[in-house]
Amino acid sequence: MKWLTDLITSAIAMFYGWTGSYGLAIILLTVFVRVILLPLTWSGAVSMARQQALAPQLEELRRRYRNDPRKLNEAQLELWRQHGVNPFAGCLSVLVEFPVVIALYQALTHFQYVGPASFLWVPHLARPDPYYVLPTLAAAATYWQARVTTPATGGGGTGMMLLSLAMGPAVMFYFTMKVGAGVGLYWAVSTVLRALQQYLMPQARPGGGGAAGEEGREEGAHGGGSRAGGAGGARGRRGRG
């Protein structure tokens, strides 16, 4: 982890040399990290969208094998394999980014500042935001990202979805309230950029496409055509009669 901390320390110093502001240096570092993680973000978002498009089929499998967990697990894995879905892909970019947050915290804690470490209303980026503005922004950004990435559902899943939407921002508020303001700034900007990436990826939005969604639409179109053809044939037979 020390090599990553040293790398982030050097990056902050370099960006500070460009901008003359440690706050702007952290924002530039955040943009750089998000660009590096973009392929993982794209892959995870597309996989998540495909998994959401398969929700009706997964629900059918749960009803069919509700008394046989082993067969249910095998059927789910086979369905995901057929549609190229990796159920863990959505967590990969977050898991990769987590060491960056830890290293950033260590880098800011031991950083040798050569100029003012204040940024806007924050007196010192290595200490928590005394006005709780950054924790509020981080919580709001987390909520917005969850809204962007969560499909509209009805029925039994609504309660769990609302609980998830409430818990995420609460955890982020508490986390960024306790750590240095620089880490809170990084997390707030990173979450906003992640949500923007998700929003600007049509294939990765919930219900926005993917292989499973395309297949579902094609099946619906074929089914609609068959029903229309059947209705037309029935009318023709009645006319001949």
What per-residue confidence (pLDDT) applies to 161? 58
**What is the C-alpha separation between 236 and 112, in angstroms, rounded?**
86
Q: In the block, which residue shows the tokens 């990553």? A: 4
Averages of pLDDT over each 10 residues, the chain, 241 residues:
86 91 92 86 73 80 83 83 71 73 82 83 89 90 74 49 72 87 88 80 50 42 43 46 47
- Considering just the CA atoms, what is the radius of gyration of the chain in Å? 24
Q: In the block, which residue shows the tokens 């973009």? A: 38
Cβ 92 vs Cβ 40: under 8 Å = yes
Q: Which residue blocks in 83-209 are alpha helix, DSSP H?
A: 89-109, 133-149, 157-178, 181-199
Strand partners, 119: 122
Q: Please choose, from the candidates 161, 191, 164, 163, the residue with its C-alpha nearest in 3D space to the C-alpha of residue 176.
A: 191
What per-residue confidence (pLDDT) applies to 153? 46
